[in-house]
Amino acid sequence: MARGDIIVISAPSGSGKTTICRALLARVEGLVLSVSYTTREKRTGESGGKDYYYVNEQEFGNMIECKEFLEYARVYGNWYGTSYATVDEIVSSGEDAVLEIDVQGGRAVKAAVPGAVLIGILPPDRETLRRRLFGRARDSREDMERRLEAAWKEIEELKKYDYIIVNKDLETAVRQVECVIRARRLRRERTMEMVDRILREKGE
């Protein structure tokens, strides 16, 4: 069985990354979210094992020492990391693993797994990003200003990604990301087993 792909989806806060990922998981078969580990507190409505695996700093540090992370980074005072074992379990079954992570993580994943697919999500313009970010009313104004400032550096980093999707219209953006994923599944490496089967049938 051909291994699945690692699909990294990154975006500045407020660009619609989480909404796009949820839509993709609902409509694309064989797509599985790789749940990350974090040291941040669980928010209202979140659940362990679905949104994140919530651990304390000591537990996270132990995982770093044991080299259990494909990527990890400290973001806004909290640690986030993607487990090797979690991703390998998904792709070994032939399914595609979606990693909803920031650009630091995306860079680390690409270095560790050059075949990983990096997809960046952008807002259509600066004002839209600011409006979306401040309209969430989930963080303090200070945190939102900090995220807005970080967004410009993140957008610069997204220039290195394999694909860039502009989220001006949500449905269009979701369809475009879906097209990338489905096209990747038609690569020679993913279809070689079927080619070999057809050739074997010719000789029977």
* Range of the structural domain that residue 147 is part of: 6-203
Predicted local confidence at residue 173, as pLDDT: 97
Beta strands 37-38 and 78-83: pairing type?
antiparallel
- What's at 70, amino acid-wise? L
Q: Domain for residue 193, yes or no?
A: yes
Least-confidence region, from 4-8, 13-17, 49-53, 164-168: 13-17
Whether 204 shows a pLDDT value over 70: the answer reads no
Surface-to-core class of residue 53, CB atoms within 10 Å of its CB (0-12 exposed, 13-18 middle, 19+ buried): middle
Predicted local confidence at residue 139, as pLDDT: 65
32-48 residue pLDDT tens: 999 999 999 999 899 99
Q: Domain for residue 192, yes or no?
A: yes
Q: Domain for residue 23, yes or no?
A: yes
Give the separation between CA 120 and CA 178, rounded to whole angstroms: 13
159-203 residue pLDDT tens: 999 999 999 999 999 999 999 999 999 988 777 777 877 888 876
CATH number, domain containing residue 84: 3.40.50.300
Beta strands 78-83 and 69-75: pairing type?
antiparallel
Q: Domain for residue 110, yes or no?
A: yes
Q: Domain for residue 1, yes or no?
A: no
Domains: count for the chain: 1
Q: Which helix (H) or strand (E) holds 38?
A: strand 37-38
Q: Domain for residue 140, yes or no?
A: yes
- State the average pLDDT over residues 115-136: 86
Whether 138 shows a pLDDT value over 70: the answer reads no
Give the global pTM. Answer: 0.87
Least-confidence region, from 26-40, 104-118, 120-134, 185-199: 185-199
DSSP single-letter state for residue 3 = -
Give the separation between CA 200 and CA 44, rounded to whole angstroms: 55
Predicted local confidence at residue 141, as pLDDT: 74
Distance of CA 155 to the CA centre of its chain: 15
Give the separation between CA 23 and CA 100, rounded to whole angstroms: 13
44-92 residue pLDDT tens: 899 999 999 999 999 999 999 999 999 999 988 899 999 999 999 999 9
* Cβ(164)–Cβ(120) below 8 Å: yes
- State the average pLDDT over residues 121-125: 91
DSSP letters for 62-98: HHHHTT-EEEEEEETTEEEEEEHHHHHHHHHTTPEEE
